[in-house]
Amino acid sequence: MPNTLVFDLDGTIADTARDLIPALNQVIAIDGLASVGMGEIGHLVGHGARVMIERAYALRGRNISEQRLDYLFGRFHDVYSDNIANHTVLFDGSRAAMDRFAQAGWKLAICTNKPVGMTNLLLHELGIVDLFDSISGGDSFTFKKPDPRHLTETIRLAGGRRELAAMVGDSITDIRTAKAAGVPVIAVDFGYSAEPVATLGPDRVIGHFDELWEAVASLFATASP
């Protein structure tokens, strides 16, 4: 069995759209844009604030300059940081699943494209920051997902080995990253993917974190967790 389990954050272990989209709407309101909803923008949550801002403007038929985008991105950073865990919750069963692996001696890690400062703040607010042996964000290195080095460096910093690791994510980015790194990947089907994750080629798909233990075990036939 692998000894390191690496998790994506947004849409994988935490339903962060509950605070990301309100922060986005507060920012685009500066320019008089009507609010956007989860159905319009939710699939872009994992792509970062700049992409969400650009998409919100496109949805409202407005152009946005790079200079204005830079300004609103900065405003978003401030607004979201101040409201990062107002409504965000862990997905059902995620804490229990992570505790089970930790208690069994596994190393746990976070590999997200969210800025590492925001990541640490959110994990602290959710009361789980101490579960992880390494936490890497989109600005932790000079590369980020889908670059496989983001994942392999996260594993290394956790004290683990690539060949003894698995990843859990919710998007095509996570799946591509893991495959490029030679790491098996489990996809959750309740995240923010624009397409059904089963069509994206993960090694396993789960619909609830209660299924994670068996899903990981099935990836490695030589032992069980």
Show the 3-state SS of the chain. Answer: CCCEEEECCECCCEECHHHHHHHHHHHHHHHCCCCCCHHHHHHHHHHCHHHHHHHHHHHCCCCCCHHHHHHHHHHHHHHHHHCCCCCCEECCCHHHHHHHHHHCCCEEEEECCCCHHHHHHHHHHCCCHHHCCEEECCCCCCCCCCCHHHHHHHHHHCCCCHHHEEEEECCHHHHHHHHHHCCCEEEECCCCCCCCHHHHCCCEEECCHHHHHHHHHHHCCCCCC
| pLDDT, mean of residues 14-43 | 94
For residue 26, tell me if it sits in a domain: yes
**Same domain for 191 and 92:** yes
- How is residue 217 written in tokens? 């075990």
Residue 111 sits in the same domain as residue 78? no
Q: What is the pLDDT of residue 222?
A: 45
Q: Are residues 33 and 116 located together in one domain of the fold?
A: no
Residue-wise pLDDT for 81-92, tens only, equals 999 999 999 999
Q: The domain containing residue 159 runs over which residues? A: 4-15+88-219
179 lies in a domain? yes
| Structural domain ending residue among the three candidates 36, 62, 82 | 82
| 137 within some domain | yes
Taking the C-alpha atoms of residue 122 and residue 135, their distance in angstroms, rounded to an integer, is 12
Q: What is the pLDDT of residue 223?
A: 43
pLDDT at 1 over 50: no
8 is catalytic: yes
Residues 70 and 97 in one domain: no
Q: In this predicted structure, what is the pLDDT of residue 48?
A: 83
Question: Of 82, 106, 122, which marks where a domain is finished?
Answer: 82
Looking at the fold, whether 75 and 157 belong to one and the same domain comes out as no
* Of residues 134 and 45, more confidently modeled: 134
Based on the fold, state whether residues 134 and 93 are members of the same structural domain: yes
Query: Per the domain annotation, does 225 fall within a domain?
Result: no
Tens digits of residue pLDDT in 89-129: 999 999 999 999 999 999 999 999 999 999 999 999 999 99
- What's the confidence (pLDDT) of residue 43? 84
Q: What is the pLDDT of residues 160-188, one digit of tens each?
A: 999 999 999 999 999 999 999 999 999 99
pLDDT at 133: 97
Indicate whether 58 belongs to any domain: yes
pLDDT surpassing 80 at residue 224: no
30 pLDDT above the threshold of 70:
yes
Whether residues 132 and 115 share a domain: the answer is yes
Q: Where a domain ends, among 82, 98, 123?
A: 82
**Does the pLDDT at position 152 exceed 80?**
yes
Answer yes or no: do 209 and 124 share one domain.
yes
Statement to judge: residues 125 and 202 lie in one domain: yes
Interval 35-82: pLDDT, tens: 999 889 888 887 889 999 999 999 999 999 999 999 999 999 999 999
Is 196 in the same domain as 164? yes
Q: Are residues 74 and 175 in the same domain?
A: no
Same domain, 139 and 55: no
Q: From 192, 191, 174, 172, select the one nearest 183 (Cα to Cα).
A: 174
CATH at residue 196: 3.40.50.1000
pLDDT at 221: 66
How many domains does the chain divide into?
A: 2
Is position 124 within any domain?
A: yes
Task: Give the pLDDT mean for 200-221.
Answer: 95
Q: Is 38 a domain residue?
A: yes
The one catalytic residue among 8, 133, 170, 203: 8
Q: Is the pLDDT of residue 217 over 80?
A: yes
